[in-house]
Structure 1
C-alpha cells in the first residue's frame, strides 16, 4: 500500500562557517518563532538502473531507515520546486506498486542499489503566531558512498527548506533574502542523489537527460522537429505514473501526447525517414486506441450526467440516474482494464524503446538541413490542404451517417494541422500561431459534433434497456432529441467557422 503527498522544497549551500552560521529567522515575514529538534541519523540507499535512467528523468527511488518516515520513497518531478512523493512501507525489495510507477522510465531494466547516502539531520520548524508549522529547515551533514563501479565517496553540508501544506511559495523568497545576507545561496543540484553522483564521480552524466535534438544543426528544420519530439516523449513518460493511478485528465493528456507524436512524424516526413517512423506511428496509434477506451467513456459519462442534471424535474421519469450509474460502472471498468493492461505490456515497453532509439539516432533526411521557413511552411500547408479536402467533402454530403463520418474525419485532420502548426511556431511565428488557434476552434466544433453522435447512440441503447426492464424510456428520448438538435446546430455553424480557417490572407502569409 502506498501513500502520496506533494512537497515543495529548495536546497541551499550553508555559509563558510558551516550549519551553525544560519541566521535567526524569527520575524521573517509570518515567522513568529523557530523551534529546534534532533539530531537524527538517516540512512538511505538509492536505487536506479545501471545506466541511471531515473536520475536522467529527475526521479529518485530510495529505501530509507531512521527518522519518522522510514520506508521506500519515490519522488517524481512536478512544476517548479514541487515534487510528488509516494511512500511504501519498509521492505527488503522494491515494492511492486512503486516499480510499476517507474516502468515508463526504466523501460523494464532492473533496479539496483547505486548510492548510499547517510545524513545527520537537525531540524528547525518555522512557526506562525499560533504555533502552526509554516516550513521545516533540515540541516544535513551528508556522507555519500557510490555503489557503482569506479565510484568514490563525498561529504558536504546542505540546508533543505520544505513548505508545510497550504503555505505559499512567497515564504521561500522571504527566507532567501535573509539567507543571501549571510552568504547562503541556492544549491546547484536538485537532490542529494544528483549531487552524490557528481561528487563521487560515478557516472555523473547519467544525472542529466541527454539533449537528443543536438543531432541536427542549430536553427535547422531537423533541430526544431527533434526538439518537439523530445518534449513530447518526455511528457508521455512523465504522464505514465498518473495514468496508472487514474488521476484526473492523465489518460486524456497521455492520449493527446500520442497524437502529437504521430502527427509530427507524419507532417514532417521531409525531415525524418518514414521507413523508420511509420512503424513507430503505428504503435502510437495502438497505444492511443487502448487509452481511448477509458477517455471516451469519461467524456461520454460527463456529457450524459450533465445533460440529465440539467433537465427539469418533470422530464426525469423513472430511475434514470441509477441506470446511468450502472451503465457507467460496467463500461468504465472495461476501459480502465484496457489502459492498465496496455501500460503493463511488453508492446508498450518496446514502443518506449523505439521512441528513445528514434531520438538517439534520428533518421534525418536531406530536408532536415533545408531552409527552416520553407520546410516548415510546406508541411503545415500540406496538412491544411488535406483538411480543406475533408471539410469540402463533408459539406457536400446530405445530413446523415455519411456526413457524420466525414465530419469525424475532418476533425482528425484539424488536429493534425494544429499539431503541425505547433512544431512550426518557433519558425513561422504569428501567422502559424493564428492558423493553429483557428484549427483548434474548428476541431472543438467538430469534436462536440462527434461527441453528440456517440451520445445519441448510447442514449438509444439506454432507452432500449430501460424499456426491456419495464421502465419508461421517456427521459432518454428527451436527451436524445436535445443531442440531435445540438448536432444540427453545429453543422449549421460549420461553414462560418471554416471560413476563419480558410481565410486566403492567412494561408498566403505562410506561403514558402
Structure 2
C-alpha cells in the first residue's frame, strides 16, 4: 500500500521536458528512461468504480507490473494497493476484488478499456541521491471496449505529463509543476487517464440538491460526506487497516445521529437508522475488544513488577486477541451479506434523492441553530431524570442515556460548525466533555466485568488470580473518580 501524490498536466504534441536542474533542492537530473506498458482496466458493466474516481487495472511492463487498485484519498492524492501479476488476465484477484465490494456491490468486474503507454521517466534527485520527484512523459493509445455497456469501440491518442512525489515533499512538487507550466504544460482536465478516455460514458449521479443556504442543503451535504466516509473505510476494514473499524463505526454513528437530529429536514429515515445501528453494533464488538486489549496492556505496565504474578499477560493477550479475531470474522461476514449491501444502496438513494420536508427550504442558520439547542436540551432532560431516580441500578442506566444524548448533541454541533461557527464549537466542546467523563466511568465498569470473567478462567486453569484483583481495584478506583468528578464537569458545562 502506498499513498500516491502527483500533479497531472496536458501538453501539446511538440512539448519538451525543460531543464529541471534549476529546481530548488534538485542536485541531479537522471534520465529519461523509456518504458512500454499495457494496462487493462476493470470495472462493472455500468462503470461504478469510474464514477467514484476508482481505478483497477492489470498492467504489464514498466518497473511495477501487477494488479493496481487506486482509491481516492484527497485532492491530488490516491491510495494505491498492488498485488503481483496473476496467471489469469481476465479474473481480478479476490484480495483486490474485495477492496471494491462497497462500490461494485457484487456486480462482475470486467475489462472496460486498455491503455498502451510509452513512458519516458526523468527523476529529480537531491545531493544524497534520493529521488525527490519522478516526471513521467506519457504518449498514450487508449482503447474503449464500448461493447461492455452497449457503446462503440473507440480509440484515442494523446500525450500527458505526470509529476509524482517520491522521497520529496509538496514543496518539491509545487516547484516542479511551476517549471513544467512555464514550458507550456497546463493542469490536466481529467484526474486520470481512464477518466479522460471514458469521458461522458462515466455515469454521474443525478443529485436532487436543495438550494444553497437552505437547511436542506446543509443537512444533505453533511449526510453525503458521512456516506462517503463510511464507504471509504470499507476497503480499509476488509484489509484490517489501522483504526479502520473505529472510523467506519464513527461514520455510521454520525449518520444515524444526523438522521435523528435532522428528522424535521430529511424525513422517513427510521428504517435506515435501524440498519446503521446494526452495522455500528457489529463493528462495535471488534472495536471495544481492541480498546480493552490496549487498555489492559497499559494498566499492567503501571502495576509494580512485584504485584504481577501468574501468566496474566499471556492470558489476557491470548484470550482478548482470540475474541477480537472472532469479532473481526463476524464483521467480515456481515460486510459480505445482502443486508449490508442493501444498506449501502439505501444510503446512496437517500443522498441522491433525499425526502425533504418543507422545513428544508428555509434558511439554514435559523432552522438548524434551533436543532442544536434542542439537542443540548435533551442532554439536560436526561440528566434531570437520572438525578431524580432513586434506585442505583436504574440511575446507572439513566446516566448511560445521558452519555448517549451528549454524544448525539456533540455530533449535531460538530456537523454545524461551518454554519454556526464558534457557537457550534462551544456546544460540541461541552457535549464532548460530558460524554468523555461518563465514558470513563462506563468503560471502567465494562473492564471490571471482563477482568472478572478472565479471572474465573484463570482460576479454573489453576493460575494465580491475585493480579486480576489488583486490576479490578484500579479500574474501580478510576470509575469512581470519574463518577465523583461528574457534578463539577456538569456544572462547568452549563456555563
- Which category describes the TM-score, using the shorter chain as reference length? over 0.9
- CA offset at residue 40 of structure 1? 2.5
What does residue 390 of structure 1 align with?
382
Counterparts of 1:468 and 1:22, CA distance in 2: 74
Whether the 8 Å CA contact 1:293–1:338 is kept in 2: the answer is no
The total of aligned residue pairs comes to 488
Equivalents in 2 of 1:94, 1:30: separation in Å? 41
Tell me the equivalent position of 1:295: 287
Does the C-alpha gap of structure 1 residues 132 and 432 become closer, same or farther in structure 2, counting only changes over 3 Å?
closer
List aligned pairs for 1:56-455, cutoff 5 A: 56-88=51-83, 89-90=85-86, 91-92=88-89, 93-148=91-146, 149-150=151-152, 152-164=154-166, 166-198=167-199, 202-204=200-202, 206=203, 210=205, 212=207, 214-274=208-268, 277-397=269-389, 400-455=392-447
SS at match of 1:72: strand
Q: Deviations over 1:78-106 (max 9, x none)?
A: 23433221122233211111111001112
Residue 15 of structure 1: how far off its partner (Å):
5.3
Moved more, 361-370 or 27-36: 27-36
Q: CA deviation at 1:412?
A: 1.1
Post-superposition Cα deviations, 1:427-470, rounded to whole Å, max 9, x if no partner, equal 33322221112101111111111111100111112222222222
1:506 corresponds to which residue? none
Kept in 1: contact 2:10–2:159 (CA 8 A): yes
Q: Distance in 1 between matches of 2:37 and 2:466?
A: 66
1:107 deviates by: 2.0
What secondary structure does 1:139 align onto? strand
Residue-by-residue CA offset, 1:104-133 (whole Å, 9 max, x unaligned):
112222222222211111111222223332
- String of CA shifts for 1:488-508, please: whole Å, max 9, x gaps: 1111221222223333xxxxx
1:41 corresponds in structure 2 to 36
Deviation by residue 1:369-399 (Cα, 9 ceiling, x = unmatched): 1232332133223322221122223334569
- Separation in structure 2 between the aligned mates of residue 478 and residue 405 of structure 1, nearest angstrom: 27
Contact 1:14 1:22 in 2 (8 A): no
Q: Aligned with 1:407: secondary structure?
A: helix
1:509 is matched with which residue?
Answer: none
Structure 2 counterpart SS, 1:215: coil
Aligned equivalents of 2:372 and 2:124: distance in 1?
Answer: 55
User: 2-side partners of 1:105 and 1:370: how far apart?
Assistant: 34
Residue 172 of structure 1, CA deviation: 0.6
Deviates more, 1:379-388 or 1:452-461: 379-388
Structure 1 pair 175–371 and aligned structure 2 pair: CA distance change class (3 A) = closer
Give the match's secondary structure for 1:78: strand
Cα distance change of structure 1 residues 162 and 121 upon mapping to structure 2, 3 Å threshold: same
Note the residue ranges of structure 1 that are not aligned, 5 or more in a row: 504-512
CA RMSD of aligned residues (A): 1.9
Residue 46 of structure 1 contacts residue 61 of structure 1 at CA under 8 Å; is this kept in 2?
A: yes
Are the structure 2 counterparts of residues 374 and 489 from structure 1 closer, same or farther at C-alpha, using a change threshold of 3 Å? same
Partner residue, 1:486: 478
1-structure distance, mates of 2:168, 2:30: 18
CA distance in 1: counterparts of 2:289 and 2:425, whole angstroms: 32
Where do 5+ consecutive residues of structure 2 fail to align?
none
Note if contact 1:121-1:141 (Cα within 8 Å) is conserved in structure 2: yes
Whole-angstrom CA distance in 2 between matches of 1:24 and 1:313: 64
Point out the more displaced range, 389-398 or 307-316: 389-398
Greater alpha carbon shift after TM alignment, 482-491 vs 103-112? 103-112
1:260 & 1:226 partners in 2: Cα distance? 13
Cα offsets for 1:239-258 (capped at 9, x unmatched): 10111111111100100110
Aligned to 2:115, what secondary structure does the other structure show? strand
Change (3 A) 1:308 1:169: same
Match of 1:124, SS? Answer: strand
Match of 1:510 in 2: none
**Equivalence for 2:5:** 8
SS across alignment from 1:109: coil
